[in-house]
Structure 1
Amino acid sequence: MINRRAVALNLVLLLVLAAVSLASLALGSLSIPLPEVIRALRGEGSPVTALVVTELRLPRLLAGWVTGAAFALAGVVMQTLARNRLATPGIIGIDNAATAFAVASVVGTGVSLAPPAMALTGAACATALAFGLAGATGTRGYRFIISGVAIGAVSGAITQVMLSAVPLDAANAAYPWTVGSLNARSPDALRLLAVGLGIGYLLALGLRRPMAILQLPEPVSTALGTRTGQVRLAGLALSVLLTGLAVAVAGPVGLVALIAPELARLASHPGRLPLTASALLGALLMTVSDLAGRLLLSPLEIPVGIITALAGSPYLLWLLLRQSPDINR
């Protein structure tokens, strides 16, 4: 059956994303009229306009789309598995661990793997360690979250040690992976993330019903024939894949994974798992944050990770102080 409310919400989000995307292509230190932007996208218009629109702004717009969607999709899956709003890749340390491994490949620590592969390795190691420290609780309970917070803190400290021990040029090359940035992203990493996001979205759709059943008490889920262990393992693997690839492109912008799923739940029908709405809201938040970072102090640019942190931190504090983190409340 088609949920009309979900379809209407997704269409509205697509229209808003399209409008904000056009604004992102048109606005900046050099403002370009919208008709000129359209002509540049068609391969027409002046060479200067084509350079700014298609070579400078369009790649970072696409990077914002796929990274925001990947972070948000990873967030909604992990929150659903843990039944806790705080259980996002950024909160439990996956972002920081992926960043530390990616930085290690950039600053020349003797590791020859590319940043995407290293980021995936870091994300997988952080998840496995947090899962192991959580013991029998698995992804449930606060022990998993506290373990992840500790892992994230240690990973962040390791990143700072690496940056302080290398020449300034190497540290500058790794800087985007420490704050989150969409400027001059690697085309290869972007293509890899786009493929991974497509595969991950299809896998998430396949896990939608089992993950929804996991919101019921454990005996009920088991009685309905759901293999809870396999579902959680598949969901964790999906979150690791999406987070690692997204960090390899944009660095740690984890608060998108916290905010986008929550906004999607508020706008969706109660009890449904808003995968598509979360992904669209993640892409929208990244696009808006990147545009704000380019305009607020123009011609200076504020990295998108700083903008999302400024916007998301008050919400995180409100969630901790005012609301139950249980996802079903």
Structure 2
Amino acid sequence: MPSSAERLTIDSQQSSDKVLPPTGFWRFGWRSANGDKSILLEQRGVIVNVGLLCALLLVCVIYLSLGSVKVAPLEVLQALLGNADMMTAFVVQELRLPRLAAACCTGAAFALAGILMQTLARNRLATPGIIGIDNGATAFAVASVIGLGVSIAPPAMALAGATTAAVLTFGLSAGSGTQGYRFIIAGIGVGAVFGAITQLMLARVAIDTANAAYPWTVGSLNARPSGALQLLTLGLVLGLAAALALARSLTLLRFKDATARGLGVSVRRRRLEVLLLSVALTGLAVAVAGPVGMVGLIGPEIARSLSSSRRVPILAATLAGALVMVLADLAGRTLFAPIEIPVGIVTAVVGGPWLLWILMRPQRSFT
């Protein structure tokens, strides 16, 4: 016969096992040596992330199938597993798969940097492409390509340019921080200056040299520097892990500073961390694909429209950005074949009306 203390312990364990999760969440619990543990997963967030991942995988198969040489989806899967004939394996693995990997990584990096910057500024227009970080990275990368006395690799130069543009934007916003339209206007001005510098550099070099640097001015996945994609992949993995670790702070940063501080967030340090992460992701992505900044606007918008407003949809925005980039590059490769349209032009055609819609819709709170 158990004692009263033992019965109390048994009753408490049974009651803890029957704790119901809040509406819209799944609760998963387990027992460990340190006691009972549990985790809450938002149902809508899980469904959205899984749906975007499935859509991305489906589009990737279609991407590998379509082109000047069409490959059946089943043959694509066989080629990925190493069971296809030599010609099919060459087309899929050597020609299309590296470009697909570049599209996925650059799209994910641009969208992740976009939602981080938007959350930091509490403004849906504050993407790296709009506030000049893309153009700063592009100008420095072009300088390294055309050889203006600079021998540093494009990824390092792109990071330096993105950092320079971010510092100038903050300096010109004159102490207003990242909030308000003064920050946006300063960024647009900095981006315009760096864009003019890029065009000036291209106008003063030989035509062959200018053609080599052209992909960095419009956004293209054709000229991928060796090693830049590997560096971007590593940076994206680390950046996504860091962003997920900052997820709670990002959710609280959407509120006023006093509220965030009251809930235990070191606002100044978190803002610096988020800014550095966004600048690094943008610089690495520009080093691979050039300025495809509209992905940083479209990806987060898709994620927010599908997800709930309880938290910042970091993973959903990353997946949506990769999906948008793959679709845009697929359209550029196939719609007017054999003429290929750079992916930056495709995203600009789609993102321009989207930007106008954001500007013209009724104003509402970012949070």
Q: Tell me if both proteins adopt one fold, taking TM over 0.5 as the criterion.
A: yes
| CA shift in 2, pair 1:248/1:147, >3 Å | same
In 2, Cα distance between the equivalents of 1:247 and 1:265? Answer: 24
Structure number with higher helix proportion: 1
- CA-atom RMSD in angstroms: 1.1
1:229 corresponds to? 268
* 1:128 equivalent among 164, 167, 171: 167
Task: Letter of the 1:87 partner, please give it.
Answer: A
Could you tell me whether the CA contact under 8 Å between 2:215 and 2:223 is conserved in 1? no
Which range moved further: 277-286 or 261-270? 261-270
Deviation at 1:45, TM superposition (A): 2.4
SS in 1 for 2:246: helix
Deviation at 1:320, TM superposition (A): 1.1
* 2:345 equivalent among 306, 314, 327: 306
Where does 1:90-239 land on structure 2 (aligned, <5 Å)? 90-239=129-278
* 1:8 equivalent among 47, 51, 69: 47
Pair 1:244-2:286 in alignment: no
Pair 1:60-2:99 in alignment: yes
Could you tell me whether the CA contact under 8 Å between 1:265 and 1:274 is conserved in 2? yes
In 2, Cα distance between the equivalents of 1:48 and 1:171? Answer: 34
Where does 1:217-296 land on structure 2 (aligned, <5 Å)? 217-296=256-335
In 2, Cα distance between the equivalents of 1:295 and 1:10? Answer: 28
Identity %: 58
Which portions of structure 1, spanning 4 or more consecutive aligned residues, are displaced by more than 4 angstroms? none
- What TM-score, normalized to structure 2? 0.87
Deviation at 1:323, TM superposition (A): 3.6
Deviation at 1:184, TM superposition (A): 4.1
Could you tell me whether the CA contact under 8 Å between 2:142 and 2:198 is conserved in 1? yes
Q: Deviations over 1:257-310 (max 9, x none)?
A: 011111101110123110000000000000000000011100111010000000
Could you tell me whether the CA contact under 8 Å between 1:85 and 1:325 is conserved in 2? no
Task: Letter of the 2:248 partner, please give it.
Answer: R
Deviation at 1:193, TM superposition (A): 0.3
| CA shift in 2, pair 1:134/1:287, >3 Å | same
Deviation at 1:41, TM superposition (A): 1.4
Structure 1, unmatched stretches of 5+, are none
Q: Deviations over 1:23-74 (max 9, x none)?
A: 0000011111122212221223232222211111101100011100000000
SS in 2 for 1:308: helix
Q: Deviations over 1:112-154 (max 9, x none)?
A: 1100000000000000111111122111111111110001001
Could you tell me whether the CA contact under 8 Å between 2:131 and 2:190 is conserved in 1? yes
Task: Letter of the 1:196 partner, please give it.
Answer: G
SS in 2 for 1:136: coil
Could you tell me whether the CA contact under 8 Å between 1:119 and 1:244 is conserved in 2? yes
Deviation at 1:187, TM superposition (A): 3.8
SS in 2 for 1:186: coil
SS in 1 for 2:175: helix
SS in 2 for 1:314: helix
Could you tell me whether the CA contact under 8 Å between 1:6 and 1:268 is conserved in 2? yes
Task: Letter of the 2:280 partner, please give it.
Answer: L
Aligned residue pairs, count: 328
Could you tell me whether the CA contact under 8 Å between 1:99 and 1:177 is conserved in 2? yes
| CA shift in 2, pair 1:245/1:316, >3 Å | same
In 2, Cα distance between the equivalents of 1:44 and 1:271? Answer: 46
SS in 2 for 1:2: strand
Structure number with higher strand proportion: 2
Task: Letter of the 1:208 partner, please give it.
Answer: A
In 2, Cα distance between the equivalents of 1:36 and 1:89? Answer: 39
Structure 2, unmatched stretches of 5+, are 1-39
| CA shift in 2, pair 1:300/1:307, >3 Å | same
- What TM-score, normalized to structure 1? 0.97
Question: Comparing both chains, which one has the higher relative contact order based on Cα–Cα distances under 8 Å and sequence gaps of 6 or more?
Answer: 1
Deviation at 1:167, TM superposition (A): 0.8
